[in-house]
Structure 1
């Protein structure tokens, strides 16, 4: 499940699209969309970092885990 979630989060996407292309925070037309996209980016980065750490720990033999 964790690997599937990480794979999903690593697939490019956006809340907003223009002409079929994802809109990045720096390209958003207004301050509110910029905010949504910046918060989503930060949340995604934190979640991906945690998932990588968790998977690395789970990949260790059980005798080496914390």
Structure 2
């Protein structure tokens, strides 16, 4: 058995592929979960850790710094 991963952009594409696979009598499953890479998980955990340690800036302070830089 082989596995093919297809990245669709909308429901129309999914429906068309489902119809085609059913017509060809090919078993399939649809998984709408997006799996994170180890790198992405690491960055998310680092961000959560930074927040719990108070290492973050509010959007207001970032906007204020940007206004000062832009004049």
Using the size of structure 2 for normalisation, the TM-score is 0.27
Using the size of structure 1 for normalisation, the TM-score is 0.28
- Bigger fraction of residues in helix: 1
Q: Which has the larger radius of gyration?
A: 2
